[in-house]
Structure 1
Amino acid sequence: MSEIREGQIQEENERAGVTRRGALRGLAGLAAGAAATVLVGGCSNSAAATGTKSAPVIPDGERWSEDGDVVTNVQRIVSPMRGCEDGHQPGVMGSQQNVQAVAFNMITEDRDKVIKLLKEWTTAAENMCAGYPVKEPDAKKYSAPKDTGEAYDLGAAGLTISFGLGATFFQTSDGKDRYGLASIKPEKLDAAMRKFPGDYLEDAECGGDLFLLIAAEDPKVCFHAMRNMVRIAYGKASIKWNKVGYYHTISPEGYAHADRDLFGFRDGTTAPDPGTEEGAKIWDECAWIAADDDPNGKLYAGGTYMMWRAFNMKFESWDEQTLQEQERVIGRTKLEGIPLSGGDDESAEPDLKATDADGNALIDPRSHIACFRSYLNESGHYMCRWGWNWSNGIDGLGQLQGGMYTGGMARDPEKDFYQYMDRWRDCDLTDYFKFTGSAVWLMLPGLKSDQEYIGQQLFEATA
């Protein structure tokens, strides 16, 4: 990025009085933390991508309220991927309005070509996350454009592109060391999760070698980033699956509640917010990999294991249930999201031991809240997660197709995720879900200011 543009962004930030938490209040995500400001706190563009000089075309207009708290133009949100002081990729924590999740199978067996791909991806991602085209546009009429062009006018719109590696990137299922990385494969990186209740997994929706989690406040910006990253990968990696999801639309006034899932209940009310002091502590304890977690932990410190899950919701069956039955299955009131044990709002602590006058449990032991809260109470392990809704017309029987994509971030997959998933066997909500997609990813640490490309430390360690 040019020094002139860097100075412009910094000057605009200072003039706007941007604060990280202020921007998050404006974006108000379920577990926000990466949906970011014009320049996210803790990050810097001091060593941004090279090869682009044209500034993004962004409509004139105010970005923030007078006190600098509220986002009024989401196109102007910029979340740089380089130089984050906390060591984490910004998009791992976020809940922007739109997501494109893409898993790739590697085609090339050439280590140098893999490094080349990561370099090209890194440059393109930095440019797009800053609101620039993939590469400098040109006027050559007889060659393919370097950028597909559909997002030229839209700004960055909070775009984040996060990179993950599957176990088969390090070593194939038959033991082949593909790129000289097998010796540093993280011990807790599983090729696949074990089977859980409700699993009807389809191979076409599971696993992969490489993963990109692309999220933005504008759906076209999100699609544009996905499309161009796929173009760059041509001949080196091919798409195994691509999932498109959405979150609720933000408003200038913000949104102070957990989002509702497609069953109409508030989802993720207990998910720790990494943007708060308490939430950040929980993420440190349960999500972020520490240097001493693995023999090669220094290479992955600041990253996390992401447990990707995709599931279908059985809308027709759910919609036939009475309100009382729906609330019993969830363990909360549908309108306010208050635990059935009582409280002022959705943030109230559920009392799993509370009973009515006849001694009956106010929160059914087989409810969603009881099954999952009981593990937290027993273990002290939180699930750090986000979720995007999805919908895609009807199936051959005329039934609605939709559900949720979730990512559970875990420092220890067994304790911080698998033990939670085992609880589905005792949960009545399982009758209304069908899990079809599953994958385990090592989400790499954030891109450092002195790194040329994401994941560089892995290849240098095995040179």
Structure 2
Amino acid sequence: MGETKHAVSRRGLLGAGGLLALGGAAGATAGYFGGTSAAGAEHRVHAEAYRGATQAGIITPAQDQLVMAAFNVTTTKRDELQALLREWSTAAEQMTGGELVGGEPEENPLAPPRDTGEAWGYDPAGLTITFGYGASLFVDAQGTDRFGLKDRMPAVLAAGVPKFPKDALQADKSDGDIVVQICGNDAQVCVHALHNLARIGFGRAALRWSQVGYGRTSSTSKSQDTPRNLFGYKDGTNNIKSEDSADELARHLWVQSGDDPAAEWLAGGTFLVARRIRMLLEIWDRQTLADQNDFMGRSKRYGAPLSVANPRNADEFVTPDFAAVGPDRQPAIPDNAHIRIVHPSMNNGVRMLRRGYNYTDGNDSLGRLSAGLFFIAFVRDPRTQFYPVLLKMTKHDALTEYLQHQASGLYAVPPGVGRTGRFPGEALFG
């Protein structure tokens, strides 16, 4: 089996011939394939199409694992930047399709392999790779037009992200020229993708920051259960879903032609907002259950809004009644409860597609968990859909006492490459 495994691509192993050849040795190769059980095989084998009108990894049903990273472009040449984006896009299409980067493995023992190999034989695991461009790709800190793209810079990026009260942002963990969101249902498949993109980019782009996430904190499909965040509450109950109408998605998610005349290349794309939010778990854990419920505005067990007097599991999706009062004649959902602050009905109806993940980065010098939420949202225009909501949170949300925003990023996410495109955002370059 050893020679056979190293002579075929990942996709080849999943083809009819490959599966037949492996059928008699399933037990011997279970570890090699990551220990996939029969019940979970479809979950892991599934491959997401890389090409399409929009990039995968946005309305794609949220996967279990995240590896997100931002790169600084180190080349000063426009043609080298374009070449890098083409090579990254080619590699992304191969990896999401279950293939090795570069196709068949390099047989020359004196040459570096074209694929780093740690996902050799692994299933695609629903891998998606989504690219976005930050303001610094267009102009540097001095306002210099780096690659002749300044005139096509979206106004949203040019305006930048406002500063919010209590921000404690770390510059080296924020921003970046190009962001790559890698999601999948196998952590090693996700890390493999970043490893290879970083290897391909050597000499033209350097890794600025990266973040590993697990346990999605939102659902992007009605077929998915609502997950829980590290405070123990169901998160993202009212999230935009892929099954929402085209009109609803156009209103809240996709940039429309005419939104920004200077950035027509972005029509059909979206904006990605990222925030690394540390959750002060040890302080939160000392609060009573009643206080925790009041801070969140939902039942911890059922996820139902506190306006439901005797909640059950089925009540999670009940519309909150913000006028309801409790036995003490006080609002059933407190005025500073999280869901009251962020609910669309309290924010001119604006919505966002959330795609965040929990993270745990060990502990700090005091022995406290360094953990929290890596918040990701896709929106048509963060100036109306995200900034006002976050500002309200920082001023009025009871949860603010238990959160610390440590990093931030804003990126323009171009539409998909389509059937014949070479890389996302190709129209940006004319």
Report the 3-state secondary structure (helix = DSSP H, G, I; strand = E; otherwise coil) of the residue aligned with 1:398: coil
Q: Is the 8 A contact 2:254 2:268 kept in 1?
A: yes
Q: CA, structure 1 residues 111+248, in 2 after alignment: closer, same or farther (shift >3 Å)?
A: closer
Cα distance in 1 between the residues matched to 2:13 and 2:117: 12
Distance in 1 between residues matched to 2:412 and 2:322, nearest whole Å: 35
Query: Which of residues 240, 265, 268 in structure 2 aligns to 1:302?
Result: 268
Does the CA-based 8 Å contact 2:216-2:356 persist in structure 1? no
User: 1:431 aligns to what SS in structure 2?
Assistant: helix
Please tell me whether the aligned partners of residues 198 and 433 of structure 1 are also in contact (alpha carbons under 8 angstroms). no
- The corresponding residue for 1:179 is 147
Match of 1:76 in 2: 45
Residues 98-151 of structure 1 deviation map (CA, whole Å, 9 limit, x = unaligned): 111110111111001001101110110000010000012121111111101111
Match of 2:405 in 1: 435
Amino acid at match of 1:215: C
Secondary structure of 1:55's counterpart equals helix
Conserved in 1, the CA contact under 8 Å of 2:340 and 2:346? no
Instruction: State the shift of 1:287 in Å.
Output: 1.4
Corresponding residue for residue 55 of structure 1 = 11
Of 403, 426, 430, which residue of structure 1 is paired with 2:396? 426
Q: Is 1:277 aligned to residue 244 of structure 2?
A: yes
In 2, Cα distance between equivalents of 1:88 and 1:376: 28
Aligned positions of 1:146-161 closer than 5 A: 146-161=114-129
Check the 8 A contact 1:78/1:157 in 2, yes or no. Answer: yes
- Which residue of structure 2 aligns with residue 120 of structure 1? 87
Aligned equivalents of 1:414 and 1:400: distance in 2? 33
Asked if 1:407 is matched to 2:376, the reply is yes
Give the letter for the 1:216 counterpart.
G
CA offsets per residue over residues 255-306 of structure 1, 9 Å max, x none?
75311001100000011102x134x433210111001101134311111111
User: 1:191 and 1:234, CA in 2 relative to 1: closer, same or farther beyond 3 A?
Assistant: farther
Paired AA for residue 407 in structure 2: G
* Residue in structure 1 matched with residue 336 of structure 2 by the alignment: 366
Residue 313 and residue 190 in structure 1: after superposition, are their counterparts in 2 closer, same or farther (change >3 A)?
Answer: farther
Cα 1:182–1:364, aligned 2, differ >3 Å: closer, same or farther?
A: same
Q: Partner residue of 2:346? A: 377
Q: Tell me the CA shift for residue 358 of structure 1.
A: 3.6
Q: How far has the Cα of 1:336 moved from its partner? A: 0.4
Answer yes or no: is the 8 Å Cα contact 1:290–1:297 preserved in 2.
no
1:54, CA displacement in angstroms? Answer: 7.0
Q: Deviations over 1:364-414 (max 9, x none)?
A: 0101011112x5334111122111000122111000111011112121111
One-letter identity of the residue aligned with 2:90: T
- Partner Cα separation in structure 2 for residue 330 and residue 365 of structure 1: 11
- The one of 254, 261, 279 aligned to 1:313: 279
How far 1:190 moved relative to its partner? 4.2
Q: What's the % identity of the aligned pairs?
A: 35
TM-score, normalising length: structure 2? 0.87
State the one-letter code of the partner of 1:401: S
Q: 2:361 aligns with which of 373, 378, 392?
A: 392
Q: Distance in 2 between matches of 1:421 and 1:154?
A: 40
1:232 counterpart residue number: 200
Report the count of equivalent residues.
392
Q: Is the 8 A contact 1:289 1:297 kept in 2?
A: no
Q: Which residue of 2 aligns with 1:223?
A: 191
Give secondary structure in 2 for the equivalent of 1:173. Answer: coil
Q: Secondary structure of 2:11's match?
A: coil
Equivalent position SS for 2:406:
strand
- Matching residue within 288, 297, 302 for 2:254: 288
Residue 425 (structure 2) aligned to one of 431, 434, 455: 455
- Structure 2 residue 69 is matched with structure 1 residue 102: yes
- Taking the aligned partners of 1:191 and 1:143, their CA distance within structure 2 comes to 46
Counterpart of 2:180?
A: 212
Q: Aligned to 2:316, which of 333, 337, 346?
A: 346
Which amino acid counterpart does residue 324 of structure 2 have in structure 1?
A
CA distance in 1, matches of 2:425, 2:354: 23
Supply the AA of the counterpart residue of 2:87: E
Residue identity in the other structure for 2:11: A
Is 1:333 the counterpart of 2:295 in the alignment?
no
Correspondence for 2:209 among 225, 241, 248: 241
TM norm structure 1:
0.81
More deviation, 264-273/383-392: 383-392
Letter in 2 for 1:371: I
Distance 2:40 2:118 in 1: 23
Residues 137, 146 of structure 2: 8 Å contact kept: yes
Q: Hey, what's the Cα distance between the residues in 1 that align with 2:353 and 2:391?
A: 16
Task: In structure 2, give the amino acid aligned to 1:334.
Answer: K
Distance in 2, matches of 1:223 and 1:378, equals 37
1:350 maps to a residue whose letter is P
Maintained 8 Å contact 1:166/1:441: yes
What is the CA–CA distance in structure 2 between the aligned matches of 1:191 and 1:128, rounded to whole Å?
Answer: 35
Separation in 1 of the partners of 2:130 and 2:159? 19
Cα separation, 2, equivalents of 1:101 and 1:332:
30
Name 1:132's counterpart in structure 2: 99
